């Protein structure tokens, strides 16, 4: 069997446009594999950019909270911080001891969700904030790992008098975590359930190449009874507000658990729009995905990346007993290989769109790649990092669209939704800068988009090569619509 390209993860950069910034390198747009078109848009005349605040330690989640303040989780700082959107003034309302963070990796304080009753008039109950973070489980990790990283979901009570989060109550713990692909997006659903994403731990690639990828493995009844959540990697979870399993969760392989969907790689975006749940997911060398999540759906990973089209991807199972040196570009015959067309799950759900799909003969080390040898700079992926539904009317033409920030090229993708939410239309690329865009929030009037940026990491520079000199590290940026 001839060596085939093996697609691996990399969170870094591609192309784009500018918003009141110097001219930046751009690249041709590959096929996105969906309906509609994807286009760069020069929008500097329509939006004003402002640096709202700086000095945040890798802001991961940013939400508009009651009272008009922005609530931010700082991933490597282990803090929840309030930011005044008028002045940028910061107030720490919680610091969590025991958050595990590793320099240059993806663990730490992650998702946050606010109970809809929080600070509402005449509401004294449900003054809750939900947080997720990685911690040291105190034992030996999976596959003999020295560190026993786990994820925990905790409910805090907001004390308005002291402006602090108090009375932590653990809802669920012992969930799988890693130095890579933790995902960690948390949203409060319209059905009063919590939805949470967990990635595949980065298994079967790079330094984790010889650990089995278990995104397809479902929990057994014995595991659920024992509260053994090992199989939750590569899954979207649905939980009751006390952390228990909802009675109407899907039964998969005869077992009802927290698992809502499975077969995911690194789903870092999660949002509801008109009652439907959408997710953005980071692919390997191609095929980042925008998905409509359906209960019990299998999204294919690691057997399928993007569409089941046999284009530029084959699953090589490096964990299957091989001791050969890992190669991210060619799979030797000794490594078991699985082609996309061989995957026949009846509940497979294709993505709404990919970013981006390329032909099977695509050269991932082509002449246009980064001259430093960091080939992932030119991979046809964007590394989508979160997802938000825009349902306001302040910005013409934006109604009922999804906002998807990206890490590699420092830009925001705006994606039109159809009226029924079952398909997507055109995509627009906005706000290009030399940053890693991690999350967004939308002002109550819909006129301002808040963007959180990573404190460090690689992005695409003005010359097209990789750079770790970010324009606005650890910041909140605002883009306010000023057009007519």
Instruction: Give CA–CA dist 433/472, Å, rounded.
Output: 9
Instruction: Give CA–CA dist 128/1, Å, rounded.
Output: 56
Length of the chain in terms of residues written: 484
Catalytic residue among 181, 258, 264, 389: 181
CA distances (Å), origin 302, targets 3, 32, 233: 18, 20, 12
Write phi, then psi, for 144 (nearest 5 degrees).
75, 15
Q: Is 312 in contact with 360 (CB distance < 8 Å)?
A: yes
Structure tokens at 407: 């890490």
Annotated active-site residue 181? The verdict is yes
Can you spell out the DSSP letters for 289-300? EEEEE-TT-B--
Instruction: Give CA–CA dist 370/453, Å, rounded.
Output: 23
Structure tokens at 398: 């934006």
Going by the DSSP 8-state scheme, the letter that residue 213 receives in this structure is P
Q: Is 385 in contact with 440 (CB distance < 8 Å)?
A: no
Q: Is 74 in contact with 453 (CB distance < 8 Å)?
A: no
Instruction: Give CA–CA dist 222/473, Å, rounded.
Output: 46
Give the number of other CB atoms < 10 A from CB of residue 156: 21
Q: Is 215 in contact with 147 (CB distance < 8 Å)?
A: no
Q: Is 241 in contact with 251 (CB distance < 8 Å)?
A: no
Single out the residue of 70, 92, 61 nearest to residue 184, CA to CA: 61
Structure tokens at 360: 């099977």
Secondary structure (3-state) at 164: strand
Report H helices in 251-321. Answer: none
CA distances (Å), origin 329, targets 170, 272, 287, 363: 42, 36, 16, 10
Going by the DSSP 8-state scheme, the letter that residue 45 receives in this structure is T
Structure tokens at 357: 């799909």
Instruction: Give CA–CA dist 423/149, Å, rounded.
Output: 37
Q: Which residues are catalytic?
A: 181
């Amino acid at each position: 069997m001839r060596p085939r390209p093996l697609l691996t993860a990399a969170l870094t950069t591609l192309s784009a446009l500018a918003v009141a910034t110097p001219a930046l390198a751009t690249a041709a747009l590959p096929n996105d594999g969906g309906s509609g078109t994807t286009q760069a848009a020069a929008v500097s005349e329509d939006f004003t950019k402002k640096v709202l605040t700086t000095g945040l330690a890798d802001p991961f989640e940013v939400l508009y909270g009651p009272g008009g303040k922005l609530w931010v989780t700082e991933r490597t700082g282990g803090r929840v911080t309030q930011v005044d959107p008028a002045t940028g003034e910061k107030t720490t309302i919680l610091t969590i001891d025991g958050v595990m963070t590793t320099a240059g990796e993806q663990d730490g304080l992650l998702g946050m969700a606010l109970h809809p009753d929080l600070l509402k008039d005449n509401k004294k109950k449900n003054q809750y904030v939900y947080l997720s973070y990685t911690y040291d489980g105190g034992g030996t990790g999976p596959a003999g790992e020295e560190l026993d990283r786990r994820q925990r979901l905790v409910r805090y009570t907001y004390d308005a008098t002291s402006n602090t989060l108090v009375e932590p109550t653990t809802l669920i713990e012992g969930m799988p975590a890693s130095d890579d692909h933790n995902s960690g997006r948390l949203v409060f659903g319209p059905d009063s359930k919590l939805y949470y994403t967990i990635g595949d731990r980065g298994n079967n690639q790079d330094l984790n190449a010889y650990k089995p990828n278990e995104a397809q493995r479902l929990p057994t009844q014995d595991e659920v009874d024992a509260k053994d959540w090992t199989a939750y990697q590569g899954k979207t979870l649905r939980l009751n507000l006390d952390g228990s399993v909802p009675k109407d969760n899907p039964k998969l392989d005869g077992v009802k658990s927290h698992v809502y969907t499975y077969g995911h790689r690194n789903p870092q975006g999660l949002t509801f729009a008109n009652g439907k749940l959408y997710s953005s997911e980071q692919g390997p060398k191609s095929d980042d995905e925008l998905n409509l999540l359906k209960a019990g759906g299998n999204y294919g990973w690691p057997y399928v990346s993007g569409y089941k089209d046999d284009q530029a991807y084959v699953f090589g199972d490096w964990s299957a007993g091989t001791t050969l040196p890992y190669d991210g570009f060619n799979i030797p015959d000794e490594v078991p290989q699985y082609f996309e067309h061989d995957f026949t799950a009846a509940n497979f759900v294709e993505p709404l769109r990919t970013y981006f799909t390329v032909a099977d003969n695509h050269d991932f080390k082509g002449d246009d790649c980064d001259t430093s040898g960091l080939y992932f700079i030119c991979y046809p992926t964007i590394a989508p990092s979160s997802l938000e539904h825009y349902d306001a009317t302040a910005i013409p033409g934006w109604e009922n669209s999804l906002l998807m920030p990206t890490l590699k090229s420092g830009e925001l993708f705006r994606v039109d939704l159809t009226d029924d939410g079952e398909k997507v239309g055109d995509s627009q690329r906005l706000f290009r800068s030399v940053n890693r865009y991690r999350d967004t929030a939308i002002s109550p009037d819909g006129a301002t988009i808040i963007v959180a940026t990573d404190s460090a990491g690689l992005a695409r520079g003005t010359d097209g090569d990789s750079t770790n000199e970010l324009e606005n590290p650890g910041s909140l940026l605002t883009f306010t619509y000023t057009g007519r």
